[in-house]
Chain A
Amino acid sequence: MILVDRPLSGITVIEHANEVAAQYCGRLLAVLGATVIKVEPPGGVSMRTEPPLLQDDPPRGVLFEYLNVGKRSITCDLVTRKGEADFRSLLASADVLLDDTPIASRQGELAPEYVRAAFPGLLYVSVLPFGAYGDKSGYLGSELNLQHAGGEGFLMPNGLALELFPDRPPIKVYGHFAEFVGGMSAVTAVLAALYARDDAGGQFVDVSVQDANISIGCFAVQRLGDGVMETRHGRSFKYGGVLECSDGYVQVLVLEQLQWENLVEVMGNPTWALAPELRDPLERSRRGAEINKHMRQWARAQSVRAVVEKAQALGVPMAPYNDSDAVLGSDAVSQRGNFAPIDLDGGVAAKVFIAPYKFPQSPLSLGQGVGPAGADNAAFLGSSAKILTETQEP
């Protein structure tokens, strides 16, 4: 059975955001079906033209396009009376305000007390690096800082990379991982507050990107309670992990006895692995370095595709380290329809990743790429609204 509407169809979100986390939250709400209206300053947010670029003229930032697909854009100059009035009119018919203005600048139309009093049914969802409350709520935090503020930054890398470069600084997870996690945490908060809105009405919700990352890194706190403070050096898997093959890398991790026995079979039952004492998982753990030496030597003669197929056929957890080409070209991606072809503004044809979840009964879709800043002024601010390209007089 197909339920025609996407889960959030009919919900309107006003997104007033410059940073990655809140924009990613807005992006996910849009793909889930909400109408997300991006409120930009005259000329648009600076991220629109931040490199790397999809095209040079006019400049179109890759990250901006990824974060804003499916949204509508209006320009609104919040330091003018007209801008304030426009913003109020948007809030009057909205369900959610998503805002990442630093707390020191949350004044006038963005002051939480004002918004709560003037729009009692609205969910005002604040998304800030360190939250809206607490002694560090005014701190600045970029992606790199937030990975380290959440605890995971200190713990990376492990395994092979750490063995090769034990004295280098800790390393970040690629891209905007911590901020995307903050965005997903904000989606959970928005949806929970929407779910409760019939009973609880509107409210202020405080989302911290640091908190979200501490939350997904919670095992480090648990282990501390067990008496172990984790470090990069202490948490590497004792054996397995990243293996270099003849044409790339694979990851293998065996946690169950049967998985180990089948891995031995995948490796062709070598004499060293058949030693009776290695049937004992604790002994394997103790002799991890020796096992790794053998496994790495074996792996170098294997091709990624063949060895992963053989391992998975026997239920051994092994996967290839796919690069972007391999991801985009995989059969799984094509069969599962993870990407949608869309025309970005200016006629750029693009395949864009849809969402980290699938709703078979109400399929998610991306809509269109976001238009130029202010492209939707007439639709949302009235037919006479002009597109603002520069700051107006108050």
Chain B
Amino acid sequence: MKKKPPLDGVRIADFTLHAAGPFCTQMLTILGAECIKIETSGRLDIFRKPHPVYGRMEAATFDQVSAGKLSVRLNLKTPRGVELAKQLVGISDVVAESFRPGVMQRLGLDYETLSALNPQIVMVSVSAAGQTGPDSRHAGYAPLFGASGGLGTLTGYEDGPPVEVRHVMDHSTGLAASNAVLAACFARKRTGRGQHVDVAAREVAMSFVGDALLEQAVTGRQQNRQGNDMFNRAPHNVYRCQGDDTWVSISVANDEQWHKLLRATDQQQWRGDARFLTQQLRWQNRRSIDAEVSQWVAQYTREEVTRLLQQAGVPAFPSCTSRDLVADSHLRERGVIQALTGPDGSVRDVVAAPWRFEETPARQSGWTPALGEHNDYVYGELLGLGKSEIARLSEERVIW
């Protein structure tokens, strides 16, 4: 019998836009859910459009958060559109949205209304600052979440400004939201009741600095920007190798790894250097260690350094470009990088499931749906509308 993915049979009515919300439903799609992305040509998802601020004139980054989803057009500015949205929620297990708080309410699609229609519905709302609180209506994108949540403030060179945390902030928010949806779905399986979960990107950023916040709250000590340093670790940095803009990361956490590094590099002068004798001394003299290690590393490629140090038991790894990732045999073998052939025969490398389930394998990646590609299946087969009605609703700019 063919093995099924873990969320086989779960259906999502997906109203999310941009990156964070769509990444959540992308994770659930990869896990086997049937995800219906609800879009309108009246206001395209910003990621279906070009982004001049990135200096790019083509659509930016839509595929990786839309692949394998179904797409329907639906104009929520019409009463009939809202009615159809409710019908979709009525046949779904999960409803996901990432509008600014208050929008779903204004549309008549708030949790109270939807749960009255479908008490088992699990609803996830993804926003910048949460559904409640004084900043709930704040607008935001990834770097703003990192900034207000404290993560961007602590990221940066010791003597420099804070640093923008980019798409990984959006996507980690989506990943957190996937935790929340799955926990609520699991609870529903046992209780028969759905619930509304609230994911604030700012709070996801806060969770990444939860240890620094705890330290501040208990001891009053405030962490600051610290470059690539980690307390008590040296050498612990990114070092330039042979080649253009090529780097290797090396992380020595304790005496044992230091001695392994000494053996592997055969740098006798480090062994007797009074500045490097203990972990504490190495930490105090970490800039001197960086200078020494930089000189040694510069003679080699990042692959040579990585091979030598990993064999010796020292954590080291190349600073990977996207080109490195798609060419990596380990990642191909694991299936997290896959080549995908599109309907037009074109092939592209995609990031697929980041887990391997023995009994419930995640889905292979699908192609990105065209806007409204699945109107007939969703409105016809799932909601039972006739072809002529679908055509009429399209003409009336309801299915639009």
Contact = CB atoms under 8 A, between A and B. Distances in A.
B153 A322 contact: yes
B46 A158 contact: no
B300 interface: no
Contact of B153 (A164, A169, A224, A321): A321
A115 B148 CA distance: 44
Interface residues of A, number: 161
Contact of B354 (A187, A211, A239, A316): A211
A168 B318 CA distance: 16
Nearest to A167: B240
Contact of B319 (A148, A235, A251, A254): A148
B331 interface: yes
Contacts of B55: 238, 285, 288
Given A161-B156, A319-B148, A360 B198 contact: yes
Interface of B, secondary structure class, is mixed
A189 to B, nearest CB: 4
Nearest to A64: B211
B263 interface: no
Nearest to B185: A195
Contacts of A215: 171, 175, 336, 351, 354
A317 B140 contact: yes
A235 B166 contact: yes
Contacts of B348: 225
A332 interface: yes
Interface in A129-169: 130-137, 139-161, 164-165, 168-169
Given A192-B360, A224-B326, A181 B172 contact: yes
Interface in B214-238: 214-219, 221-223, 225-228, 230-233, 236-238
B144 A319 contact: yes
Centre residue among B173, B198, B207, B333 by max chain A CB count within 10 A: B207
A303 interface: no
Centre residue among B176, B233, B322 by max chain A CB count within 10 A: B322
Contacts of A282: 52, 57
A324 B212 contact: yes
A180 B179 CA distance: 13
Interface of A, secondary structure class, is mixed
B322 A151 contact: yes
Given A225-B349, A253-B141, A362-B187, A184 B240 contact: no
Centre residue among A180, A254, A282, A315 by max chain B CB count within 10 A: A180
A171 interface: yes
A185 B355 contact: yes
Contact of A200 (B6, B27, B208): B6
Given A157-B156, A221-B349, A175 B211 contact: yes
A191 B179 contact: yes
A356 interface: yes
Interface in A208-246: 208, 210-226, 228-231, 235, 237-242, 244
B183 A32 contact: yes
Interface string A350-374: 1111011111111000000000000
A288 B359 CA distance: 51
B147 interface: yes
B82 interface: no
10 contacts: A51-B232, A137-B330, A144-B251, A156-B155, A192-B182, A216-B171, A253-B144, A328-B217, A335-B133, A349-B218
Given A195-B189, A221-B350, A255-B51, 4 more contacts: A140-B313, A180-B208, A223-B322, A241-B143
